[in-house]
Structure 1
Amino acid sequence: MAIYHFSNQIISRKKQQNAIAAAAYRSGEKLVDERTNESKFYKRQVEPITHILAPSHAPKWVYDRQQLWNEVERVERQWNAQLAREINVALPKELSHEEQEQLAIEFCNDVFVKDGMVADLAIHRDDEENPHFHVMLTIRPFNEEGTWGNKQVKVKEVINGKQQIKAIHTTDWNTKEKLVYWREQWATYANRYFEKNGFPERITHLSNKDQGLETLPTIHEGVVARQLQNEGKESERIRINMERKEYNKIIIELSEVKKDKQIKERTERFIRRFTPLEKKQLRESAKSLGLFVNFENINTRRSQLDKWHARLEFSQDSVDTFKKMNRIERETDMLDQAENILEKEACRFLEKYYPNFNIEDLSKEQKIGVVETTVTQNKRLSSHEIEKVILDLEKKQIE
């Protein structure tokens, strides 16, 4: 099953972090911190696959990992300076190693590098079950001529009559909206590779809550947790995931039962059922009368025919009058037939869904009215609601 993991953190001096040490740990290379002359090296079981990707206007020295992060340490002078952004992303293990690498490079180039960042990419496969990549991104932009640009510019503003100086970021790389965009793009790029390689799996950047799911998200386990498990030791992170997977299994099963019940209710409850003969007769009536057959339309058409008949009664006898009277009679017969079908079906409907209700107390119009209201609202009416339907029908009759 494809998983989605995309985490973001800032590497900063405030947290007593060092850009050279961070790059050495992720790349598996031995790097020297030129300020302290200390060597940084972290041996890895599986050598990472690394790439440095940079925009065309960046200086050539950015492709030297040691020089790149020493230059970052040199240009950032503040005690609490942000040195780099690190993104940690789970790679789809359904893809081959080559496809995983191609996907990571394409994503970083299109999403980060084209926006002006230098991306130091490292793919880790210490655990075959958890392939992932780290990418360290420069926070300070480069000017067009290849020199370091400013993170912020200071502008003067007059607020309440007083001049104030405000710092404005020169990029939108630190905004929440940008992070959401990156997360969404990773799902888009990964899904594109799934589709291209014929896999049905898809991932989404949306949380379970945003997807309307009641399941709990699993947490990132990492290589240390898996090593503990392989050694027969207990890992808190793996234990949490096992509990969540068991919980999610129950939730999914309940969700399926709930879904089946809803489908059954939609197909069985509050649907009008006519016999094949009744359906045929209603179709013929609708076609001849030129209207949708329901009780309201039948009453409207009957009222029109009554008025027409009343006018013709005082007309001089003629062939034309005779034809019109015959038409009124035919249409009245069709309306009677349609009304009788609606009443028969209404009785069947009421007996099924309102077995304790005495339908003998209701008129034809009231029976059909209760049924049509039930179907329209798609719910079983209470005694109070049935009473209201009856009162409304009586009011219309009086009017």
Structure 2
Amino acid sequence: MAVYHLRVKPIQRSKKRHATAAAAYRAGVCIVDERTGKKHDYRHKMGVLGAELCLPGGGTEERAAFWNRVEHHHRRKDAVVAREIEVSLPRELNDGQRWELAMTYAHELAGRYGVAVDAAFHAPRPVSDKDLELNPEQFHMIDPDTGHRHNGNWHCHLLFSACHVEPDGTLGKKCVELDPIHCRRRKILNLTQRERSRWAELQNRALERAGAACRVDHRSYVDRGNDRVPTVHLGGYAARMRRDGTPQLSEQAMLNREIVATNNEVWRLREQARRERIEERELKAWIKQPGVCSASGRIILESRMMDSIERSYLLSQQIEEEERSSVRQSRADFQHSQVTDEQIELTGSRPATEEPESASEMRSGEYPAPTPARLTGSVPEPPRDAQVRAKLAVRRLLCMVEQIDRAAAIREAMLDPDDRFAEVFQEQLLEVGIGAHGELSHGARPSQGDELGESADGTSAEHPGLTRADGAPVKR
């Protein structure tokens, strides 16, 4: 189905951007910036299906000469030399219909605001087998004309000057209708608010002429009365991470996953409720038919309703139990692997599996006598594995340079279900002078070497100068 997209972006010098570079990249040509002397060569860029510079009145001009004149026309070092509208083009149209739609909108913008518009028509990005292997969830489609696989993202870049342009190409004053600050001060609609509805109208008109059944809507979910949660914009870097299959997703990508899962769950529950309402209406209509006992019909209706409620409850309980069991299993596997690795690092060999002492005593029929600790009720020493894990966890913290990394590691360690580990871990943090948020006290510093290196006297072999807050050397 067609997807609506319209985004307005400024080209401003304060962010090291230039109109010549933007025009060269979007049109896939080579332009030399006469003001800076820099050469912007994008002739190797793939996917540029066409580009055309439109002046008010239907004229045109050579691209490099025009945008160099625009750069010389703006003298401020923080000037906005151009603005861009990026729009998506429907997949339901062919290349000729998409080009006609984009150029119609470009000529309309040039005449409405009295500016020059440089339209560049870009093809979708190809999707290879390796891309699908890295990220199987990404959208892709097969082009019916070429048979190639791509992401279906036909789009157009409309780069227009920030100043007025005469039909003969003469540059004028700043076009204040394009400035969002001017629109906010005058309390009028800005460029984005004005053009979103117009682009949706043009796109739907083109879809109707092509005989497509789908339509686009520029309004938000709130304006349409839809309670679906909209996803957030990923940006170029986050989208590239997701496309390349990087395991460490960005916060926006993780948030989008949660939003999509929530929307799908809400849709599933609503669909289930809709089916139940239909079944209830059909059953009530059946009860009212002649020859059907009303009492028996009500009993059947109530039994079906109770059965539906019970199925929903059992399903929710099953889902919750599966989530809890998966969390417990992942924690158990992580703790087991962590303890095993730490014992191997300390002893140099994998610990042998020993028989519990209680089991051998029970088979021999002998029970241990009460020890002084049991009689006096003294607090027992923490288990050896808890001490080892806490010590190694603190050593890893000392090997971290950034405070944000130490804070994240401390939060992860405090989620351990072993209470004794948490107590020993907090004691170790106080001993070496690390705060709850990863901050280092005076005298403590992060290490940069082997986490487990020790010398004969118990201090760090790699970092003998590592001390606590009170000035004493840190025991490793």
Give the TM-score band, short-chain normalised: 0.5 to 0.7
Aligned to 1:136: 159
Segments of structure 2 that go 5 or more residues without pairing to the other structure are: 126-149, 184-188, 290-297, 299-476
Quick one: which of 123, 140, 149 aligns to 2:172? 149
Give the secondary structure class of the aligned counterpart of 1:204: coil
Deviations 1:224-244 (A, max 9, x none): 777666654456466655543
**Shift in Å, 1:261:** 7.6
Q: 1:133 to 1:223 in 2, by over 3 A?
A: farther
Following the alignment from structure 2 to structure 1, what is the Cα–Cα distance between the partners of residues 178 and 224?
A: 27
Following the alignment from structure 2 to structure 1, what is the Cα–Cα distance between the partners of residues 74 and 283?
A: 69
Quick one: which of 71, 74, 84 aligns to 1:73? 71
Whether the 8 Å CA contact 2:55–2:167 is kept in 1: the answer is no
The 5 A counterparts of 1:202-213 are 202-213=215-226
Give the secondary structure class of the aligned counterpart of 1:141: strand
Following the alignment from structure 2 to structure 1, what is the Cα–Cα distance between the partners of residues 243 and 165?
A: 46
Following the alignment from structure 1 to structure 2, what is the Cα–Cα distance between the partners of residues 125 and 238?
A: 25
Quick one: which of 262, 266, 269 aligns to 1:247? 262
Give the secondary structure class of the aligned counterpart of 1:63: coil
**Shift in Å, 1:52:** 1.1
Is 1:109 aligned to residue 102 of structure 2?
Answer: no
**Shift in Å, 1:11:** 0.8
Q: Which has the higher contact order (CA 8 A, sep 6+)?
A: 1
Following the alignment from structure 2 to structure 1, what is the Cα–Cα distance between the partners of residues 121 and 237?
A: 17
- Counterpart of 2:90, as a letter, is P
- Counterpart of 1:197, as a letter, is A
**TM-score, structure 1 length as denominator?**
0.55
Give the secondary structure class of the aligned counterpart of 1:149: strand
**Shift in Å, 1:184:** 0.7
**Shift in Å, 1:196:** 1.4
**Shift in Å, 1:177:** 3.8
Q: 1:140 to 1:225 in 2, by over 3 A?
A: same
Q: 1:246 to 1:148 in 2, by over 3 A?
A: same
Aligned to 2:6: 6
Whether the 8 Å CA contact 2:49–2:123 is kept in 1: the answer is yes
Aligned to 1:83: 81
Following the alignment from structure 2 to structure 1, what is the Cα–Cα distance between the partners of residues 167 and 92?
A: 40
Q: 1:138 to 1:258 in 2, by over 3 A?
A: farther
Structure with larger Rg:
1
Following the alignment from structure 1 to structure 2, what is the Cα–Cα distance between the partners of residues 18 and 94?
A: 34
- Counterpart of 2:164, as a letter, is P
Whether the 8 Å CA contact 2:20–2:67 is kept in 1: the answer is yes
**TM-score, structure 2 length as denominator?**
0.47
Q: 1:177 to 1:17 in 2, by over 3 A?
A: closer
Give the secondary structure class of the aligned counterpart of 2:173: coil
Matched-pair identity in %: 31
Q: 1:222 to 1:10 in 2, by over 3 A?
A: closer
- Counterpart of 1:199, as a letter, is A
Give the secondary structure class of the aligned counterpart of 1:206: coil
Deviations 1:209-238 (A, max 9, x none): 222222233456688777666654456466
- Counterpart of 1:212, as a letter, is G
Segments of structure 1 that go 5 or more residues without pairing to the other structure are: 153-168, 276-351, 353-399
